């Protein structure tokens, strides 16, 4: 997203990140980011990785991948990231805690939302002690269950076929009901005439 916004502004990603971090630009850039996310089409089957995702796309399947801050710092420190360079795990931990707190305050101030409120999400997973494969399995299982409950994911052709089958079933049910009424009426008329 940042790269796309940078391209639209005619600057590279490094220049964009410098502008993004400038306190006087935060509100403007956040609003650009928000608008970009709100305009994404859910039918594109996109995966949106964003702290604001639940707010910008309320109809999406919203997942919070939570992690203990110290474990997050260990992962960052031992991952040799180009963008995050720390001299110690303690420094990385301090950075993670500050960033999380700053983000929480920022979104509370700009949007009056608490990004740490678990009620904002359909699924919350503590990733601290789980492998990526375990996390993926949980997500896929929950997503499939949600689709089954809501009937989400059918193609237009499948939806038409389901609708047609439901219509046929309803029509057949009505015909059987009408036949039953005719039979009952016939029996009633027959027995009434018999007793006259």
68 contacts: CB under 8 Å, gap ≥ 6: 126, 128
Mean pLDDT to the nearest integer, 96-115: 88
90 backbone dihedrals φ, ψ, rounded to 5°: -60, -45
Number of separate domains in the chain: 2
In terms of Cβ atoms closer than 10 Å to its own Cβ (0-12, 13-18, 19+), residue 51 is middle
For residue 78, the enclosing domain spans 59-150
Residues 141 and 172 in one domain: no
Asked if the structure places residue 170 within a domain, the reply is yes
Output the pLDDT for position 82.
61
User: Residue 7: which pLDDT band, with cuts at 50, 70 and 90?
Assistant: confident
pLDDT tens string 147-196? 777 765 555 665 666 677 777 777 777 787 777 777 777 776 665 555 55
**Gap between the terminal Cα atoms of the chain:** 86
81 backbone dihedrals φ, ψ, rounded to 5°: -75, 145
Residues 168 and 117 in one domain: no
Asked if the structure places residue 113 within a domain, the reply is yes
Asked if the structure places residue 40 within a domain, the reply is no
Asked if the structure places residue 6 within a domain, the reply is no
Output the pLDDT for position 15.
79
Asked if the structure places residue 34 within a domain, the reply is no
Mean pLDDT to the nearest integer, 134-150: 88
Residues 66 and 120 in one domain: yes
Residues 64 and 146 in one domain: yes
Q: Helix, strand or coil for residue 24?
A: helix
Output the pLDDT for position 182.
75
At 136, which CATH number? 3.40.50.300
Q: Helix, strand or coil for residue 84?
A: coil
Output the pLDDT for position 65.
94
Task: Find residue 64's DSSP bridge partners.
Answer: 124
Asked if the structure places residue 83 within a domain, the reply is yes
% of the chain exceeding 90 in pLDDT: 24
Comparing 105-109, 124-128, 139-143, 151-155, the range with the smallest average pLDDT is: 151-155
Residues 96 and 142 in one domain: yes
Mean pLDDT to the nearest integer, 19-23: 77
Tokens of 71: 């474990």
In the 3-class helix/strand/coil scheme, how is 93-113 assigned residue by residue? HHHHHHHHHHHHHHHHHHHCC
Residues 80 and 118 in one domain: yes
Output the pLDDT for position 128.
94
Task: From residue 9, give the alpha-carbon distance in Å to each of 16, 19, 30, 83.
Answer: 9, 11, 14, 22
Output the pLDDT for position 125.
95
Residues 103 and 131 in one domain: yes
Residues 146 and 65 in one domain: yes
Helix ranges restricted to H, the chain: 2-9, 13-21, 26-38, 53-56, 69-78, 89-111, 132-150, 156-194
Residues 145 and 166 in one domain: no
Residues 92 and 169 in one domain: no
Inform me whether the pLDDT recorded for 109 exceeds 70: yes
Mean pLDDT to the nearest integer, 59-69: 92
Asked if the structure places residue 173 within a domain, the reply is yes
Residues 139 and 170 in one domain: no
Q: Which among 103, 11, 110, 128 is positioned nearest to 51, based on CA atoms?
A: 103
């Amino acid at each position: 997203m940042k790269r796309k916004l940078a391209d639209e502004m005619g600057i590279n990603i490094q220049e964009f990140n410098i502008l993004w971090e400038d306190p006087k630009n935060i509100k403007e850039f956040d609003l650009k980011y928000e608008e970009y996310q709100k305009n994404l089409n859910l039918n594109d089957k996109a995966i949106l990785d964003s702290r604001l995702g639940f707010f910008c796309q309320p109809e999406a399947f919203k997942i919070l991948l939570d992690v203990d801050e110290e474990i997050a710092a260990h992962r960052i420190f031992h991952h040799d990231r180009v963008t995050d360079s720390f001299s110690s795990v303690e420094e990385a931990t301090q950075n993670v805690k500050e960033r999380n707190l700053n983000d929480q305050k920022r979104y509370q101030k700009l949007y009056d939302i608490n990004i740490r409120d678990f009620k904002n999400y359909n699924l919350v997973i503590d990733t601290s002690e789980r492998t990526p494969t375990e996390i993926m399995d949980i997500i896929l299982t929950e997503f499939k269950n949600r689709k089954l409950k809501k009937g989400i994911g059918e193609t237009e052709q499948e939806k038409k076929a389901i609708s047609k089958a439901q219509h046929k079933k309803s029509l057949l049910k009505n015909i059987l009901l009408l036949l039953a009424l005719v039979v009952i009426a016939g029996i009633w008329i027959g027995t009434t005439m018999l007793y006259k």
